[in-house]
Amino acid sequence: MPTATVTPTATPSAPTDAFDAYNLTGFSAGNSGGGIVNESNAALYKKVYTATDLAAALKKGSGVKVIEIMNDLNLGWNEIPSAAQTSPFAAHNSPLTHPVLLQTGVSKVTLDGFDGLTIFSANGAKIKHAAFTIKRSSNLIIRNLEFDELWEWDEASKGDFDKNDWDYITLEEDTNVWIDHCTFNKSYDGLVDSKKGTSGVTISWSTFKGDDRSPNSWVTRQINALEANSTAYPMYAYLRSSAIGLSKEDIIAVASSQKKGHLVGATSFDSGNSNLSITLHHNYYLDIQDRLPRLRGGNAHVYNILANNSAAWAAKSRITTAMETAIAGKGYHFGVTSNGSISTEGGAVLVEKSNFVDILYPLRNNQTDPADSSYTGKIKALDTMYSLNGVSFRGDSDTSGSSLAPVPAAIIPFSWSGISALPYSYPVDDPSTLAARLTASNGSGAGKLNWTKSNWLQTIY
């Protein structure tokens, strides 16, 4: 195996200039979005205050290059005015259980055919009750936005979360997308998924998190509603019954973590999967159970991420083996998955200088049939920290006895898929600094940087 295929091209130390740390790199390098547009240019720069403003700005062929989200937006189908209930807005699958979403509804917002567009907020504005699908577009940038309130309890598919299809962002047939300094809260399905051969994606300096289980949290409100009328929800009632014996607090704890992170390639062996490319760096994943990412073909580069699943891992112990058997026997799905980065179907995932905390399977290389190598991917970790139940390791996945060694299939030696080396350079941080760095006041997530508007439009500092 050529050394060049696995040796990182990273700058050996972190950048000295604070702004340099936020330069666009990864597979989306070179993406300029909508460019540097003065806010006085009314044709190209749109300030969005309402759903109606957003509908006009995102209408196909609008010509808009920069969209500034000025304030929080509640975009559920039942809460937007009739003037906004037009393309690119549409009613999404109807909510079935969450008391808030039953009132607000959920919207699907489709961006189609844009070439050169930046969507940002200067103040970390929050968008609720909406799922965005971006199709056949290129050179898109989304920065400094928070996405929230898109999850509900799933009785319809018995906890498999296979009914509503609500993802915060879905990318389809796109090239060059940069998502930066955003926050994604718990969702019904995925957080940011990349499909249909989408290439040139970078997701950086963003926070992905489960529910915090506070007395008025999104999950707590949902469980309180189920508890008040449990006979109407057979799965919930069964979990609370003497047959299983889970308390309301147990259910909140188990349900609070986020089930799915990033699906990259939605269909097995799709012809476009070889084109998939995504970089994840300086992201903070807090209690995300799976898919960091889950890759089908193509290439994924993961560096300087912190995945801390300690609360999810602790909640997993609330369900005994006997409970698991009984729940599965009823056809219900309720528990905690514990996976990190996953490569399948010939894909290549390189994990560098990252930190995985309390994840049972930090690296996986097959999700379908370990005996069938066509379903196996290539995955390798370099200088990555891993701890589980207080036992720590730092090193590479191919070091003898490494606790980062991929499972469950026979390991395929690492090489990139369709490329000989990464097409970009990138600075890195020591993985031991990530917890402090990403949770700092200038760390990952929306609303962290007090920047001028022009800074949010730049990609290189």
Q: Look up 294 and say whether it is catalytic.
A: no
If one counts every other C-beta atom within 10 angstroms of the C-beta of residue 390, the result is 6
User: 376, 405 in Cβ contact below 8 A?
Assistant: no
If one counts every other C-beta atom within 10 angstroms of the C-beta of residue 418, the result is 13
- The residue among 316, 251, 258 whose CA lies nearest residue 288 is 258
Residues pairing with 284 in the sheet: 207, 306
- The residue among 185, 382, 157, 349 whose CA lies nearest residue 264 is 349
| Phi, psi for 406 (deg, rounded to 5) | -65, 150
Calculate helix-pair angle for 248-255, 218-228, nearest 10 degrees.
140
User: 45, 38 in Cβ contact below 8 A?
Assistant: yes
Cα 320 from Cα 246, distance rounded (Å):
10
Burial call 350-376: b when 16+ CB within 10 Å, e when fewer: bbbbbbbbbbebbbbbbbeeeeeeebb
Catalytic residue among 291, 294, 364, 437: 291
Both tokens of 153, joined, read 């309890």
Cα 451 from Cα 19, distance rounded (Å):
10
Amino acid at residue number 274: S
Cα 380 from Cα 364, distance rounded (Å):
10
Q: Where are the alpha helices (DSSP H) in 229-348?
A: 234-240, 248-255, 310-316, 321-329
Amino acid at residue number 223: I
Amino acid at residue number 217: S
Instruction: Give the residue numbers marked as catalytic.
Output: 291
